[in-house]
Amino acid sequence: MSHRLFFGFSLTPHRHVHRMVLLTFREGCPLTTLKQLYDLQELDLELDRAGAQIVTLTKRIQDDDAVSSARQALAQRRESIQQMRRQQARRTQDIRDLQTKANDQEARLYGGSIHSVKEMEALQSEVKGLRDQARIIENDEVLTLMLQLEEAEPAEVRESAALQHLEQERSALLEQWTSERSKLEAAMPMLRSKRQEIASACTPVLLAQYEGLRRVKQGQAVAKMEHGTCMGCRVTLPVRELQRVRNATNPVLCPICGRMLYAG
C-alpha cells in the first residue's frame, strides 16, 4: 500500500518564489535512507571543500604579484642608480674637460706668448669663467648626485635582500601548495567513487529531492538533529516536531530552514 507525502517549501532566488511539491514514497522505506543521504552529504561537502581548496591553492600558485612587484621595484631602483652613475660620470668628465681647458689657457696666459693687455684680460676672464663653470657643476650637480647615490645604493642592497627573502619564502610555499594540491587532486577520484556508490543505493526520487535542496541550501540538504536542535538553522524544534522526526519512515523537513532532518 502506498501513500503520497507532500513536502512544500519556498525557493527564493532573485526574490521569485517557487514551490516544489514532492514526492511519492513507499511505506516501509528503509530507515537507512536518511543515513545514506547524510553520509552522501558529508562526502559532497568534503568534495566541495577539496574543490574550493584546489581553486584557492591554484590561485596562490599562479599569483606572483608580490614577487613581481618587488622585482620591478628593484629593477627600477637599479636603473635609477645606473642613470645617476652615468650622469655623475658625464658631469665629472665635463669638469675635467673644463679644468683642462682652463689649465691650457692659463699656460698660454703665463707662457709669454701674449703681450696685449686686452688679450691677457680676456684670457684671464675666460680662465675664471671655465673654473667657475667647473665649480658650479661640481657643487650643484655632482655633489647632489653623490648624495642621492649615498641614499639609493644602501636602499638597493636592502631591497635586493628583501627580494631574495621573498623569493625563498615563495619557493617554499610553492612547494607546499603544490604538494597540498596534488594530494587533494589525488583524493578526488576516490571521493567521487565513494559518492557514486552511496548515491546509487539511494531512492532516485529521494536523491533528486536531496540534489534540489543542496542547490538552494548552500550545499546542505540534510540537517542533523542534536539535543532537539536543527543543526542547519540552529533552532530548537518543538517536541511534536522531534517526535515526528524520530518516528517518521519518510523524510521530515525542518519547518524553519526546510532541510531534511536526520535524527542520527
Reported as a single tens digit per residue, the pLDDT across 72-92 is 999 999 999 999 999 999 999
Q: Does the pLDDT value for residue 64 go beyond 50? A: yes
pLDDT at site 134:
96
Q: Does the pLDDT value for residue 259 go beyond 80? A: yes
* Contacts (Cβ under 8 Å, ≥6 apart) of 191: 43, 46, 47, 50
Q: Among residues 39, 31, 14, 20, which one has the least CA distance to residue 198?
A: 39
In this structure, are strands 235-236 and 222-226 parallel, antiparallel, or unpaired? unpaired
Q: Does the pLDDT value for residue 10 go beyond 70? A: no
Q: Does the pLDDT value for residue 33 go beyond 70? A: yes
Q: Among residues 58, 10, 21, 18, which one has the least CA distance to residue 205?
A: 21
pLDDT at site 28:
35
Query: Cell numbers 653623490 label which residue?
Result: 146
* Contacts (Cβ under 8 Å, ≥6 apart) of 251: 7, 33, 34, 206, 209, 260, 261
Higher pLDDT, 7 or 128: 128
Q: Does the pLDDT value for residue 20 go beyond 50? A: no
Q: Does the pLDDT value for residue 188 go beyond 50? A: yes
- Separation CA 31–CA 136 (nearest Å): 97
Q: Among residues 261, 255, 252, which one has the least CA distance to residue 6?
A: 252
User: CA-CA distances (angstroms) from residue 171 to 165, 181, 187, 231?
Assistant: 10, 15, 24, 42
Q: Does the pLDDT value for residue 9 go beyond 50? A: no
pLDDT at site 13:
36
Share of the chain above pLDDT 90, in %: 70
- Separation CA 34–CA 200 (nearest Å): 14
User: CA-CA distances (angstroms) from residue 195 to 85, 106, 206, 211?
Assistant: 67, 98, 15, 13
Query: Cell numbers 513507499 label which residue?
Result: 26
Report which listed range, 17-31, 117-131, 143-157, 221-235, is most confident: 143-157
Averaged pLDDT for residues 153-159: 97
Give burial (CB, 10 Å; 0-12/13-18/19+) of 107.
Answer: exposed
pLDDT at site 181:
97
The string of DSSP letters for 12-74 reads -GGG--EEEEEEEEETT--THHHHHHHHHHHHHHHHHHHHHHHHHHHHHHH--HHHHHHHHHH
Residues in the chain: 264
Report yes or no: 47 and 192 within 8 Å, Cβ to Cβ. Answer: yes
**Confidence band, pLDDT 50/70/90 cuts, at residue 117:** confident
pLDDT at site 263:
86
Higher pLDDT, 2 or 225: 225
Residue-averaged pLDDT of the chain: 86
pLDDT at site 34:
86
pLDDT at site 87:
97
pLDDT at site 5:
34
**Confidence band, pLDDT 50/70/90 cuts, at residue 245:** confident
Within 10 A of 185 (CB to CB), how many other CB atoms are there?
Answer: 13
Higher pLDDT, 6 or 121: 121
- Separation CA 201–CA 29 (nearest Å): 13
Helices (H) and strands (E) in the chain, counts: 6, 6
All domains of the chain in start order, with CATH: 2-60+203-262 (no CATH), 64-190 (1.10.287)
Higher pLDDT, 247 or 127: 127
